[in-house]
Amino acid sequence: MKPHNYSSDAPIYDASLDRFNRFPFSQRVANVIAKRNDLGSIVIGLYGAWGDGKTSVLNFIERELQKEEHVVCLKFNPWRFGVEDQMLINFFNDLATAIDRSMETGKEKIGNLIVKYGKPLASALGRGEVADEVKSFFSGADIEELRERIENLLEEEKKRVVILIDDIDRLEKNEIHAVFRLVKLTADFKYTAYVLAFDKHVVSSALQERYGDNALGTGNSFLEKIIQVPLELPSIESEDLRNFCFNEIDQVLNFSNIELTEEDVRQFVSNFSKGLEAHLKTPRQAKLYSNILMFSLPILKGEANFVDLMLVEGIRVLLPEVYTLIRDNRDLFLKDSTSGYGYDYDQKEKSRRKERIELALNEFTQEEKEQIIGLLCFLFPRLNSVFGNNFYGGSSELKWSERQRICSPQYFQRYFTYAITTKDVSDIAINELLKFSEDHSEEDIVNKIKGILSDKNAETFISKLRRLSKKFTLLQSRNLAISIAKIGSNLPNPIQFFRSMNTFGQGAMFTGDCIENLESKEEQFELAKDVIFNADTLYFAAECFSWFKRDTEEHPNPKGFSDEEYSKLASILAKRISFELSNIEDIEIGKIENFPYVLSVWNEYGEPKEATNTITRKIRTDKNSVFEILNAHTPTAFGEFGARKSSFRRNNYDSIKEIIEPTVIVEAIKEVFNNLAIDDRYPEFLDVPRNEELARQFLWIHNKSEDEKTNEEEMESSMK
């Protein structure tokens, strides 16, 4: 592919490149100037907004005038001079040079006249107010002679001088003042014409500050005294401007090797035409738009939705205030209108969001406002519930994410940072991983994953894999399930209320998703077994097993495991538990994650009494381990001060009782805490060490349980 530069904002000279039908207008202006019979000077003002093509029109006028032998063109650039006296001196030097070049040989050179009278001019400019000195200079006898001789030479040569001055509206205010003083002082030369191109509003505002004493309209009045022929730049047909803009976009797409589908093209054109086209006023805006796309499209290729990106960048160029509103108010555009706090709350929130957006659009007409809202509702479908009654569920959220749309929380920020943040994962990297997983070993795939994965992006990484898992090939499903199992300990596992919502739990659920993708029950069973064996920790193996899909009468699932299959897999997990915990004397129970679940699987599906005997042996050889067991069985409470272990309750007691004889625990507690008093009421919020608190709570519940047991036995005995 040949290199492509950013679209240049340079004006054009060749009439064949005229896309906006400006050449006939330029030709007419040049013809009027060239054919004038009036010997007096004339000042033409060419008015147009920034970027509207004034310079190109000046170029066309210059080209046409150059065809006329009797016309001398001087394109004077006031930008070259930093101070006013330099501007004035160089104007006369440029004028002399331009005229001398067009004179026949043997005639007196005007340049010589300027040199002759240049010293008085330079002397005048060296002191006092520049404008006053120039005025007195031209009114002097020598200057009258200079003026007369220049006019006589022009008449003898049948020459007319046309001075073209562009970009006046880009000058500093004092420089604008200087240009118009120059024109005012020299425009009465015979055989001269000025064509001044500028934004009338900008220049009149600058002149008003200088000459108007803040009186309304004085800037325009000043212009009217100088400009004899005010001409508005011909407006561009909206269709021509749109086609020009689309042609620029097409070039960017071709350069970036991006092909849009017919549906993409239809959506872009439809939403651009309805929401943005009315705000496209100048070719320069179209050029700026294409240049921004030249930057953003290649950077986000494969990482964002092209239609959304092109429309958002259009908003950035044509509706900058709306762009800022979107960028700085994420929730305003992404939030679901159903909060769960009730109908009244949702209606108030809906009204608040609607008012916030409409307030930002106050500067637009009602029609423009409706068009912009329509565009925003396309980009952010949830706004349809704010401005209408259309609501979207979770399935829509998934589709938006799959299509990398800006309305997806996972992709929103990319459209404004033009980068993949540390919390995000490149879609290109994900796609490369999926392709890689089809023809590489499990070890290579694990290393590939480790190269992508970090603590910051792990949540996004697993989330993206889960969203894509339904589209995996059978080989991808198998290899990725085992690979994720092998790096389970790399997945962040913060303590939180919904354990399944953290990355560790999501990673385990992902292995279940992959298993469900396989076609036969035999393949599913073998992959599930491999996940249990290959999980890098016992804890992750148990976590994965807990998320394997089941097919039960209560919750039928043809893709899930039957009770028989589930029991076989549980037995396989129990064997791994037995192997890793057989030397439990050397293992700290407190470090075994989710110990109650591991223990229950081992007890139910392992060898009979193996779990009971092993844990009992552990307690009797290490009395303090009993407190680790009790603590592991108490739930985690979440409050304003964070997560902490709560009190030991009756359901925790019953869970332990299923595996361990309570008297074994009672004996261990009494050996650690001699003569520990039995509380009359349940001991809670005690200002004692955690182990003592657990001991007293267990003993209180145990005594109550024994009393209940005694009462039941007495009742049964009496009934006999």
607: CB partners within 8 A, 6+ apart: 574, 578
**Mean pLDDT throughout 378-388?**
92
Percent above pLDDT 70 for the chain: 86
Question: Regarding predicted confidence, which is higher, 51 or 210?
Answer: 51
Are 406 and 441 in contact by the 8 Å Cβ rule? The answer is no
pLDDT score of 494: 61
Number of Cβ within a 10 Å radius of residue 385? 19
609 DSSP 8-state letter: T
Q: Could you tell me where the DSSP H helices lie in 300-441?
A: 306-318, 320-328, 330-334, 343-360, 366-379, 394-402, 414-417, 427-436
Residue 124 has pLDDT above 50, yes or no: no
**Mean pLDDT throughout 485-494?**
89
Integer Cα distance of 322 and 594 in angstroms: 50
Whose CA is closest to 162, among 256, 254, 72, 285?
72
Q: Which of 8-12, 93-97, 215-219, 488-492 has the lowest mean pLDDT?
A: 8-12
**Mean pLDDT throughout 479-484?**
97
What is residue 375's three-state secondary structure?
A: helix
pLDDT band at 717 (very low <50, low <70, confident <90, very high): low
Q: Which of 182-196, 260-274, 569-583 has the lowest mean pLDDT?
A: 182-196
pLDDT band at 3 (very low <50, low <70, confident <90, very high): very low
- For residue 91 the two structure tokens come to 């104007």
pLDDT score of 128: 43
Are 283 and 409 in contact by the 8 Å Cβ rule? The answer is no
Residue 33 has pLDDT above 50, yes or no: yes
Q: Which of 55-59, 141-145, 364-368, 504-508 has the lowest mean pLDDT?
A: 141-145
Residue 23 has pLDDT above 70, yes or no: yes
- For residue 496 the two structure tokens come to 């939180």
pLDDT score of 534: 96
What is residue 383's three-state secondary structure?
A: helix
pLDDT score of 207: 84
> pLDDT tens for residues 61-99?
999 998 988 888 888 887 765 556 667 667 777 777 777
Q: Which of 139-148, 453-462, 580-589, 642-651 has the lowest mean pLDDT?
A: 139-148
Helix or strand holding residue 697 (H, E): helix 690-719
- Determine whether 146 is exposed, middle or buried from the number of CB atoms within 10 Å of its CB (0-12, 13-18, 19+): buried
Percent above pLDDT 90 for the chain: 52
Residue 120 has pLDDT above 60, yes or no: no
pLDDT score of 340: 65
Q: What's the mean pLDDT when you consider all of the chain?
A: 85
Integer Cα distance of 278 and 610 in angstroms: 78
According to DSSP, the residues that pair with 72 across neighbouring strands are 161
> pLDDT tens for residues 349-368?
889 999 999 999 999 999 99
pLDDT score of 297: 94
**Mean pLDDT throughout 261-271?**
95
**Mean pLDDT throughout 462-472?**
93
**Mean pLDDT throughout 481-485?**
97
Residue 335 has pLDDT above 90, yes or no: no
Residue 608 has pLDDT above 70, yes or no: yes
Topology of the domain covering 21-232: Rossmann fold (3.40.50)
pLDDT score of 208: 82
Q: Which of 385-394, 456-465, 501-510 has the lowest mean pLDDT?
A: 385-394
Domain-by-domain residue ranges, the chain? 21-232, 238-417
**Mean pLDDT throughout 249-278?**
94
What is residue 717's three-state secondary structure?
A: helix
Q: Which of 154-168, 371-385, 542-556 has the lowest mean pLDDT?
A: 154-168
Integer Cα distance of 525 and 522 in angstroms: 5
pLDDT score of 127: 43
According to DSSP, the residues that pair with 74 across neighbouring strands are 163
Integer Cα distance of 650 and 648 in angstroms: 7
pLDDT band at 102 (very low <50, low <70, confident <90, very high): low
CA distances from 86 to 111, 116, 133, 196 (A): 17, 18, 14, 20
pLDDT score of 146: 67
Are 410 and 463 in contact by the 8 Å Cβ rule? The answer is yes
Q: Which of 337-346, 384-393, 576-585, 700-709 has the lowest mean pLDDT?
A: 337-346
Sign of the Cα pseudo-torsion (316, 322, 328, 332, in order):
negative
Question: Regarding predicted confidence, which is higher, 691 or 224?
Answer: 691
pLDDT score of 536: 94
Integer Cα distance of 654 and 658 in angstroms: 6
pLDDT score of 1: 39
pLDDT band at 178 (very low <50, low <70, confident <90, very high): confident
Residue 549 has pLDDT above 70, yes or no: yes
